[in-house]
Structures are given as C-alpha cells and as structure tokens.
C-alpha cells in the first residue's frame, strides 16, 4: 500500500516543489509520512466540511490545491493551535483522526497539465502557451471569434460560476489569457502579448478602472481553480491504482451573488 510520503513525491514529480513561489507552503503539511493510504479525498480547500467528509468516507489523506496552512491567508492563526479557531479546529480534527494533508499550490499552477492548462482547456482554447516566465497563466485562441456577451455566457456555463464581474475592452474575444486564482499582476503581460481578453479572479477596483483595451473577466477564485481537481484525481489513479481516489462533494464556492 502506498504511503503519504510516496504520494507526495509522485505529486512533486508532476508539480515540482521548486516551481512554487518562494512564499508558498506546499507538500506534505499534516500527518505521518509513513501512514499507509487506502483512500484519498481531493478538494480545492481543506475546510471543516471537507475534513468531516474525509472522516465519513474513511480517507487517510486529503490532497488539496490551497495549503491548509496558507502563509498569506493564515499568518495570524498560524501562531497558535487552538480548536476554537477555524484553522486550529481543522488541524486538530485532522490530527485526532489520523488524516494527512498534501497541498500542491503555486507549483500546480505552473505545472504542465495543472491549474492553468486545465482552465485553458475548459474554456476551449487552442494552441496554448505560457503567459509568463513564472509559468503562471496561459494564452490560447478560440476556434472562432466571439462577441463578449456570448463568451461571458460560456464562461459561466463551463466553469459553473454563480456570476462574474467584467469590464468591456474591445468587445470581441479571440486571443485569450487565463490565470487561475488571483493573477491581476499579469494584466500588463496579457496586453503586451496581444490578448483581447483575460480570465482570472480576485480583481481589485483599480484593475477594472485602469485597464484599457482588454476584456477583463473576474470569474471567481473557486471556479477558475477547481477545474484542476479532476486532473489531480486522474493523476493519482494512474500512479496509485490500488488507492481509491474521490473528489469532494461537500466543497463548493463560498461566494454567492445577490442580483
């Protein structure tokens, strides 16, 4: 039976640790590296509901995209380990139930076949190539040019968005950049590479205010990254066929829209 350490190393052969941003927290973050694994639960985030789902389905390991201890999101909470805080409750429940956690974050963003390739494929882009040297983001083309409203409808349907935010640029969509998650810093690179549209998330007011000549689409953090979970499941099944791997059914986008 495969161990947590063996699974971590196999995931690193797909998404090397060295390709993660230097601030990031990736790899095996919780649990015993020698623990044998019979069942894996795949999720975008490790939340209270995901941990309970792992307990209920008998998983010994959760493989997620976002680190359970995210140094950018949880800097203050990571100073303590208390069950009465959200993060502390998640970590103590994992430990008490002998459930390990492996997290592949910006290294999976950059990986071939990772988050951004999955996003580009989901949106129907062809001839896909790297947006930048960090390998965070991709550029591709649609098989035929579309109007912006038609493409917005496609994005909502294909990514399962509850809604989205956008700013009209040219109003036509053909050469598209994608950046799963928060990639606003790459707007200038998308423009410089001749893109007419950029699909990403977590855009700020000034991103919409200052951007010119580019259809700018904020499709949400969860929808633009959750596309990688089926790829993670497939990868694990190919390399560890003896381990049962399932995608979380309890984890979903926490952002809702009131219209």
| Same domain (yes/no): 92, 132 | no
Q: For 197-252, what is each residue's pLDDT tens digit?
A: 999 999 999 999 999 999 999 999 999 999 999 999 999 999 999 999 999 999 99
91 pLDDT higher than 90:
yes
| Same domain (yes/no): 51, 122 | no
Decide which of 108, 127, 155 is a domain's last residue: 108
User: Are 248 and 232 spatial neighbours (Cβ–Cβ below 8 Å)?
Assistant: no
For the segment 45-68, the average pLDDT, to the nearest whole number, is 97
Establish if 230 belongs to a structural domain.
no
How much of the chain exceeds pLDDT 90, in percent?
Answer: 88
How much of the chain exceeds pLDDT 70, in percent?
Answer: 98
Strand order in the sheet with 126-130: 126-130, 138-147, 172-182, 197-201, 215-218, 165-167
| Same domain (yes/no): 99, 122 | no
Decide which of 57, 91, 108 is a domain's last residue: 108
pLDDT of amino acid 71: 65
For the segment 137-148, the average pLDDT, to the nearest whole number, is 97
Minimum mean pLDDT range among 12-21, 62-71, 163-172: 62-71
pLDDT of amino acid 114: 98
Establish if 249 belongs to a structural domain.
no
| Same domain (yes/no): 54, 135 | no
Decide which of 108, 125, 146 is a domain's last residue: 108
Q: Regarding predicted confidence, which is higher, 78 or 256?
A: 256
Token code pair at residue 215: 């259809």
Q: What is the pTM of this model?
A: 0.94
Q: For 216-227, what is each residue's pLDDT tens digit?
A: 999 999 999 999
Establish if 52 belongs to a structural domain.
yes
| Same domain (yes/no): 129, 219 | yes
Establish if 146 belongs to a structural domain.
yes
| Same domain (yes/no): 83, 131 | no
Give residue 186's domain range. 112-225
| Same domain (yes/no): 116, 102 | no
Q: For 102-141, what is each residue's pLDDT tens digit?
A: 999 999 999 999 999 999 999 999 999 999 988 999 999 9
Count up the domains in the chain and report the number. Answer: 2
Establish if 144 belongs to a structural domain.
yes
Establish if 234 belongs to a structural domain.
no
| Same domain (yes/no): 67, 34 | yes
Q: Quote the CA–CA distance of 73 and 95 in Å, as a whole number.
A: 21
Q: How far lies 115's CA from each of 8, 94, 144, 207, 222, in Å?
A: 18, 26, 24, 23, 11
Establish if 184 belongs to a structural domain.
yes
| Same domain (yes/no): 139, 69 | no
Token code pair at residue 78: 């990571």
- DSSP E strands: which ranges in the chain? 27-30, 39-43, 61-64, 100-103, 126-130, 138-147, 165-167, 172-182, 197-201, 215-218, 244-247
CATH number at residue 147: 3.40.1390.30
Establish if 254 belongs to a structural domain.
no
| Same domain (yes/no): 94, 128 | no
**CB count in 10 Å sphere of residue 233:** 17
pLDDT of amino acid 83: 86
| Same domain (yes/no): 97, 135 | no
Q: For 30-39, what is each residue's pLDDT tens digit?
A: 999 999 999 9
69 pLDDT higher than 90:
no
| Same domain (yes/no): 52, 32 | yes
pLDDT of amino acid 124: 98
Closest by Cα among 126, 176, 117 to 146: 176
Q: Quote the CA–CA distance of 116 and 245 in Å, as a whole number.
A: 22
């Amino acid at each position: 039976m495969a161990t947590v350490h063996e699974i971590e190393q196999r995931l690193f052969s797909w998404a090397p640790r060295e390709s993660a941003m230097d601030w990031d927290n990736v790899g095996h973050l919780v649990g015993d590296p020698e623990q044998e694994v019979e069942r894996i639960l795949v999720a975008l985030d490790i939340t209270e509901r995901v941990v309970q789902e792992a307990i209920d389905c008998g998983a010994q390991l959760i493989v997620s995209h976002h680190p359970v201890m995210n140094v950018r999101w949880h800097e203050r909470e990571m100073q303590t380990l208390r069950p009465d805080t959200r993060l502390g409750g998640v970590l103590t429940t994992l430990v008490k139930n002998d459930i390990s956690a492996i997290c592949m974050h910006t290294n999976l963003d950059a990986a071939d076949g990772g988050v951004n390739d999955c996003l580009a494929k989901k949106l129907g882009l062809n001839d896909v190539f790297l947006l930048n040297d960090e390998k965070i983001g991709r550029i591709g083309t649609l098989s035929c040019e579309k109007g912006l409203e038609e493409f917005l409808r496609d994005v909502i349907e294909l990514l399962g968005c509850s809604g989205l935010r956008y700013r009209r640029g040219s109003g036509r969509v053909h050469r598209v950049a994608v950046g799963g998650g928060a990639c606003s810093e790459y707007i200038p690179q998308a423009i410089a590479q001749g893109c007419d549209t950029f699909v990403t998330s977590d855009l700020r007011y000034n991103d919409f205010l200052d951007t010119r000549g580019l259809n700018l689409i904020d499709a949400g953090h969860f929808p633009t990254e959750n596309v990688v979970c089926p790829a993670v499941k497939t990868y694990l099944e190919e390399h560890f066929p003896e381990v049962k791997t399932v995608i979380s059914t309890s984890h979903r986008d926490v952002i809702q829209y009131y219209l």
